[in-house]
Amino acid sequence: MKLLPFDKYMEKCLYDEKNGYYKNKEKIFGKEGDFYTPQTVSSFFGKLIAEFLKKEKFKNVYEFGGGEGSLAFDILSFNEEIENYFFIEISDKLKERAFEKNKKFKDKIIFLKSIDEIKEIDGFIIMVEFIDSFPCKRFYKDKSFYEVWVDIEQKKEILKEISNYDFLNYYEFLPDGYYFEYPLSFFEWFEKFLKKFKKGKILIIDYGIFKENLIFYPEGTLRGFKEHIVIKNIYDYEFGEIDITFTPDFSLLKKFFISKNLKIEKFTSLSNFLISEGITQIFEKEISFSNDICFKIKKLGEIKTLILPEIMGEKYFVLILKNEF
């Protein structure tokens, strides 16, 4: 019997060089892939971020987890003031696609694989659906706490009693019989990031919940995605066959960031952020150049996906951080 702690199992499923989902899957994003992200829904999103960056007046931009380069392309297409765009993507296959997509910006965009290739960070940092891509630890509460391990041969979870994690106190309020996920690998990565973060702001956009919402998820928030269908039992699939993710707890994230002396400059829903920053004006301007009703209907569908509460609008959150070092 070969056992792995859940986060190592998830890491193998997503990032294994031979079989990992993000390393080898041909179609990941958009209609032909397994899920959408805000930047793959519509260029409206990228155009708005481009305009936002003009107001922020940063010349250096760092995008972590840039995927196929859609957001980079839109930002660089609509903000000529950016001098250096650092594109960090762990997947060689995705990085190659991003390179092809952004060839016209070869004088501005710098393609990197990890934060280890960056000496210091001074500028505006973008993390869109970045946190949820990290392998998470998984736990179970029943009078005491148990860490979830995975029997990778039998594809089943094994519980091991633990008491050596200080953060478990945060989950004492949960009733017995509850699972939950903790983004330890992201927090460890962020500690490394902070050592290089000299000056600037961080824009985090991700789907999320709050601490009080955890009571509605007795099985935890872990799930898979395949062809836009939610997969509840991820063990029904082979390594690398599906995306595996969890829902970040923004109560926990804010607590962590504050503990690192970062100032929360803004925290709001995606819909509030997009509307306040002028996405409806961007939409109206774009459709005003066409009399094609099909084009206008398509663009209306895109903006609805981004701002309607039941789709992305109130399920995604925007967190802007500023360092106070």
- Whether residues 124 and 146 share a domain: the answer is no
Select from 68, 124, 126 the least CA-distant residue to 95: 68
Instruction: Give the model's pLDDT for residue 324.
Output: 62
- What six digits make up the tokens of 190? 């962020």
Number of domains in the chain: 2
Helices 43-56, 293-307: crossing angle, 10 deg rounding:
60
E-strand spans in 163-315?
178-182, 197-207, 223-226, 229-231, 243-245, 262-269
8 Å CB contact between 239 and 162:
no
Distances 305 to 37, 43, 108, 278, 311 between C-alpha atoms, Å: 10, 12, 31, 16, 6
At 295, which CATH number?
3.40.50.12710
Asked which of 199, 222, 239 is the last residue of a domain, the reply is 239
Greatest alpha-carbon span in the chain: 64
Q: How do residues 1-39 score in pLDDT, each as one tens digit?
A: 689 999 999 999 999 988 899 988 888 888 888 788 999
Q: How do residues 187-202 score in pLDDT, each as one tens digit?
A: 999 999 999 999 999 9
pTM: 0.95
| Residue 98, in any domain of the structure | yes
Instruction: Give the percent of the chain with pLDDT over 70.
Output: 99
| Residue 49, in any domain of the structure | yes
The length of the chain is 325
The domain of 276 spans 36-132+184-208+248-323
| Residue 178, in any domain of the structure | yes
| Residue 143, in any domain of the structure | yes
Select from 101, 102, 13, 110 the least CA-distant residue to 62: 110
- Whether residues 146 and 234 share a domain: the answer is yes
- Whether residues 174 and 311 share a domain: the answer is no
- Whether residues 115 and 202 share a domain: the answer is yes
| Residue 264, in any domain of the structure | yes
Distances 304 to 31, 51, 126, 300, 315 between C-alpha atoms, Å: 16, 20, 23, 6, 13
- Whether residues 162 and 307 share a domain: the answer is no
| Residue 193, in any domain of the structure | yes
Instruction: Give the model's pLDDT for residue 325.
Output: 56
| Residue 297, in any domain of the structure | yes
